[in-house]
Structure 1
């Protein structure tokens, strides 16, 4: 039984466009509904703004822009606050999913059919019942932007 527990991973899931994605729960600090943002003049266009998280200023990145997807259609995005070496960072997503537990044995490379615009930002996929969960590579998708 302990072997099975060791081979499973938990992911915080979310939606972007018609994609179902996951981030390891250990990388996630918290999830929040839409937060008012202050714009950042002259910032890269992936920076949506700054949010106030209980007195701490946190940069919010538009994950749609990072992944080359069209702007969200009038709905307010949700926030997934992730941990980085420089402090928390908020990722704006369309919708928050559940925490899912998967077995490492079901992990596969990203499919060739995945959009080229963001295939390199995906570590791999898990086949779940009725859908694929794309595992976001935070290092490539987000942290490399912050360090640049």
Structure 2
């Protein structure tokens, strides 16, 4: 059986994470800044009593800042260290591409992105970059 991916857009690129890693998707949330935190840590949010670190995925991937954050979405993913919120531009769909369409990330993918991408999937209308949620949230352990 093929794996399902929750997809989202960042700077026009389609990313995906395995559906089983996604706890929930939230509209833009009020975040409390953390003094002296790394630039990619946007802050902390209170998710029904659970304190969740929020990571600006654009900054983490070395992408330019988003001029319009009104449509930003929080994708809360489960990691070995607990829930982490990834701020993305826009949520996509759930896709279930065939297993044969996956391959390692090509050298044309920027190094900062390739470091966090497990593999890519060729779709009819583009490329799906499969994000490694543990590595993407790895800044939390370093903070």
Q: 1:92-146 CA deviation, whole Å, 9 max, x = no partner?
A: 000000111111111111122112232221111111121110001122222x222
The reply on whether 1:13 has 2:44 as its aligned counterpart is no
Structure 2 Cα separation of the partners of residues 129 and 75 of structure 1? 29
Report what 1:88 is aligned to.
83
1:102 partner SS: coil
TM-superposed CA distance for 1:88, in Å, is: 1.0
Structure 1 Cα separation of the partners of residues 6 and 73 of structure 2? 13
Kept after mapping to 1: 8 A contact 2:79/2:134: no
TM-score (norm 2): 0.93
2:93 partner SS: strand
1:105 partner SS: helix
The ranges of structure 1 where at least 4 consecutive aligned residues each deviate by more than 6 angstroms after the TM superposition are none
Q: Unaligned stretches of 5+ in structure 2? A: none
The reply on whether 1:105 has 2:100 as its aligned counterpart is yes
Structure 1 Cα separation of the partners of residues 73 and 30 of structure 2? 11
Report what 2:69 is aligned to.
75
TM-score (norm 1): 0.90
Report the number of matched residues: 141
Larger-Rg structure: 1
Q: Unaligned stretches of 5+ in structure 1? A: 1-5
Report what 2:16 is aligned to.
22
Structure 2 Cα separation of the partners of residues 19 and 116 of structure 1? 15
Q: Which of these residues, 40, 43, 47, is aligned with residue 49 of structure 1? A: 43
